[in-house]
Structure 1
Amino acid sequence: MKAFRELVESAIATGTLDGVDALLADDVVFTSPVAFTPYPGKAITAAILDGVARVFTDFRYVSTIEEGSRSALVFEAMVGEVSVNGCDFITTNEDGLITEFTVMVRPLSGAKALADAMAQECPRIQAAARAATPPA
């Protein structure tokens, strides 16, 4: 998805993905490479992606595959001193908003480094998601 890739490439150096929520459908589902249960909802997905922006360094997309409403964005990055290769699988709806966002990473050392780094971000992610969630 071109809009997401452009946002990431322009914003990743700042450690935040300001504006990512405008690309997400309200009912988006985020599937993490290190958590079993998917995360439903715009607020938590935006908060997770913002957390990832703080964890990854030297992030770059190296390839994109698009087929209709589905995209695969292949990336390389560092988590601390560990090299990570991965792919963002993105599905959009008829309005062009992201409805599914699945991340896969390799090698195992990269997945472990990502899991450890994201665990450190968890309180900040949860707080951001709560702050962005409208009251019921």
Structure 2
Amino acid sequence: MTNPISSWHKVVESKDADMLKSILHKEATFYSPILFKPQKGRKMVLAYLLSASNMFEGSGFHYVKELISEKEAILEFNAEIDGIKIDGVDIISWDEEAKITEFKVMLRPLKALEKVGEKMKEQLEKMSLWEKLKLKL
């Protein structure tokens, strides 16, 4: 069985929205460390993941460990924003067609969570503006 992890790494490097869209299930769910409710649907997951990609630009974001099984992966990452070191984990699940069905992000420490929340709000506000300008996701 194939998995979408190598494609995910290409998306992280290139910020290719079309490639990301191609590996997301149409009913994918995103679990944010800063939102209570899961975000459902490809469009919402795209918005959050693209916003996160922009937020982490210039932060030294990189994966340090990977655990991959048949339909799930846990990818540990590090980054630094405004002098705050961020440790995080992406937990990714996919279906038989290698389409991502769930994407869950966990972060530590609390200062990192607060900083990411602040920066994600800025990015999502920009994304909302992009939608108003009719840019396709």
The TM-score, its normalising length taken from structure 2, stands at: 0.85
Q: What SS does structure 1 have at the residue aligned with 2:68?
A: strand
Percent identity over the alignment is 24
Aligned to 1:29: 29
Question: Which position in structure 1 is the counterpart of 2:11?
Answer: 7
| Structure 2 unaligned regions, length at least 5 | none
Instruction: State which drifts further: 72-81 or 119-128.
Output: 119-128
Cα distance between partner residues in 1 of 2:10 and 2:51: 18
- Is the alpha carbon distance of 1:63 and 1:129 closer, same or farther for their aligned partners in structure 2, counting shifts above 3 Å? farther
Determine the structure 2 residue equivalent to 1:50: 50
Measure, in 1, the Cα distance between the counterparts of 2:51 and 2:37.
18
Q: 1:58 to 1:104 in 2, by over 3 A?
A: same
Distance 1:28 1:129, change over 3 A: farther
The size of the alignment, in residue pairs, is: 128
The alignment partner of 2:37 has SS state of: coil
| 5+ residue gaps, structure 1 | none
Q: Deviations over 1:32-89 (max 9, x none)?
A: 0111110001111111111111111211011100111010011001223211010000
- Tell me the SS of whatever aligns to 1:36: coil
Q: Distance in 2 between matches of 1:70 and 1:129?
A: 31
Find the counterpart in structure 1 of residue 100 from structure 2: 98
Give yes or no for contact 1:84–1:106 (8 Å, CA) kept in 2.
yes
> 1:74–1:87: 8 Å Cα contact kept in structure 2?
yes
